[in-house]
A and B are shown apart, each in its own frame.
Chain A
Amino acid sequence: MAAADSLPAPGRAPDAPASGRAPASGHPPAKRALRARRRSRIGMIFLIMTAIAVVMLYPFWYILNNAFRTQTQFEQQHGHSALSWSQLFSELPVGRELLNSTLICLASILLILAVSTTAGFAFAKLRYRGSGIVFLAVVAALMVPLQSIIIPEYVNLGKLGLINTYLGAILVYVALGTPFATFLMATYYRGISDDLIEAAVMDGLGYERTFLRIALPLSWPAIATVTVLQFIQIWDDLLVGLLFLQNPQQRTITVGLAALSAGRTSSIPVLMAGSFISAVPAIVVYLIFQRYLVRGLTLGMGK
């Protein structure tokens, strides 16, 4: 499905026929000239791509460079020290908040997967009357912006006593992630042949068991995609965490960082150090699973 990797590079092909085809370029000097032009063109492209890479990567360099300064060193842009890191750890319960982030992410993702794989399979393979509309409704819930529901959601979960608990935040994340995850899984499951399913059922497996034993193992790539997308989304979320987890002891690292910056601690390097710590896990997950991210996006475009 990730065609970008597997297809021959269409961009490169035109060059070769051009130099081989045109009768006039049969002369060696012309061929050399063309090759030189091609090389300079490749060089130009490489240069531009590097320039863009610098633009994209600059913030990371900025964060890391300034995290290792004190406030005075930051203002003068000169000198380095590790002081801001110890300041960060004293102002924020970093370890605790990282733990909170991790637990909440994992639990939310597990729930999202549980709900979306089953539903995705059902909508893809187990059509029943009205399932098309139900599917449309579930996916249309994608359009619901967080801001529109956050207030009633907050009050509802408050009445259930779930504010300042992991479960409250998890439920909101699950609600927000289910539509897209279901859509992704359904699209993926559509790609599995019906015969495979039917054969398993004929063998007496039953649809539910078929899902568990046959369909689910086949869908690891899509599961990986959902995991990565949701991990990034939940790890980096601010509003839900800010409202539903009001104490630093339950906060996620992203919310802790925002609270720190809103408190206008006068030390920018401390904020930079915090930024680095909060960004690293999501980046690591991305780097490990980037193939699936690409795949997930292309799946979403409905091949």
Chain B
Amino acid sequence: MSVSEATPALARGTSPGQRTRPRRSRLARRRRRAGILLSLPAVIVVVALLGIPIGQAVYYSMTNWNGLTAQWIGPSTYSTALSDPIFWRVLENNGLLLLSIPFAIGIPLAIAALLNEHVRGWRFFRSVYFLPTAVSWVVIGMVAVQFFALNGLMNKFLGAVGLGSFQTDMLAGQRSALIALAITFIWSMLGTNTIIFLTGMATLDPTLLEAARVDGLHRRQIFFRVTLPLLKRFVQFSFVITVISAFSALFSLIFVMTNGGPGFGTTTLEFFVYQSAFSLGQFGTGALYGIILFVIMIVVGLVQLRLIRSEDGEGW
């Protein structure tokens, strides 16, 4: 299409006086063609391997698909699924997991503040803190199972510091297993969030902090009243990443640590999708929950985008 558009231009603009205009429009056309050509592979990949499956998932969510045969049921599948008490239990788990977000953000903030002091060797520590990010959830999960076991490190530690009465088999109770999951999640997010905040702190204008010190503010006051507000964008970014991880990146961890149990204690929505589909062979129901998960993610993303936009007044 672009070639046939180009030819009339070529045929038209050959006189010297008009060389700049057709040349520029020809350039513009070539730029556009190159733009489309170069961006096409990515678009094809996203559409074919992400877009179409989402559409299919929407379709299948309204059938009783078992992977082999599908029978149309209609949107009533959604009302059936939403009236399943187990679904709300699962959502409850997701909600409870959100309670760990303040810790997943607050602790790295403190660690980043420490690293920011640039005490000797801080770069080494930064490397170390980020190391768990490179390790797979499978490995982390296996160590976590041993850590929380009745004769594992956590209970041994509690016994050693005299808190023996708190010793418990965390992975045996529904709520406590979720707490154990949350603790493991926080531990592994520490590295990522610390780096984010550290980078943010490094972008701060030192004169601002100088001015605050001249005004006689204590270190702690400076941190809470000057540094933190300036880091707002980074806190938001880290919030988004952490929430997205909590909702869609924990599958492997749950798989290895508890397999969703005990009961439905650690079955979050993303794990529930897998279980509905593959353990029970109800692919239609699994697709349905997958769509619900997708919608939730979009809502979270949009809310975040709205918040960031309203602060800066600019896009990314």
- Direct touch of chains A and B (CB < 8 A): yes
Cβ of A62 and Cβ of B31 under 8 Å apart? no
* A293 and B130 contact, Cβ closer than 8 Å, known pairs A141-B46, A239-B252, A275-B139: yes
Interface set, chain A 29-65, CB cutoff 8 A to B:
42, 45-46, 48-50, 52-53, 55-60, 62-63
- Interface flags for A131-144 (1: CB within 8 Å of B; 0: not) read 10011011011011
Most chain B CB within 10 A, of A11, A52, A53, is at: A11
Cβ of A10 and Cβ of B209 under 8 Å apart? yes
* Complex CA–CA separation, A179 to B234 (angstroms): 21
* A145 CB within 8 Å of chain B: yes
* Complex CA–CA separation, A172 to B132 (angstroms): 25
* Complex CA–CA separation, A285 to B134 (angstroms): 9
Task: Count chain A residues whose beta carbon lies closer than 8 angstroms to a beta carbon of B.
Answer: 108
Cβ of A8 and Cβ of B143 under 8 Å apart? no
Cβ of A283 and Cβ of B135 under 8 Å apart? yes
Cβ of A156 and Cβ of B45 under 8 Å apart? no
Residues of B with C-beta under 8 A to A63: 139, 143
* A119 and B43 contact, Cβ closer than 8 Å, known pairs A14-B213, A46-B119, A279-B139: yes
SS class of chain A's interface: helix, strand, loop or mixed?
helix
Residues of B with C-beta under 8 A to A10: 116, 201-202, 204, 206, 209
Residue on B with the closest CB to A114?
A: B41
6 contacts between A and B (CB under 8 A): A56-B129, A59-B135, A135-B39, A149-B49, A152-B53, A237-B252
* Cβ-closest 4 pairs across A and B: A236-B136, A126-B35, A175-B49, A119-B42
Query: A residues engaging B (CB < 8 A)?
Result: 2-4, 7-14, 17-18, 42, 45-46, 48-50, 52-53, 55-60, 62-63, 66, 114-116, 118-119, 121-123, 125-129, 131, 134-135, 137-138, 140-141, 143-153, 155-156, 171-172, 174-176, 178-179, 182, 187, 201, 206-208, 211, 232, 235-239, 243, 254, 257-258, 261-262, 268, 271-272, 275, 278-279, 282-283, 285-287, 290, 293-294, 297-298, 300-302
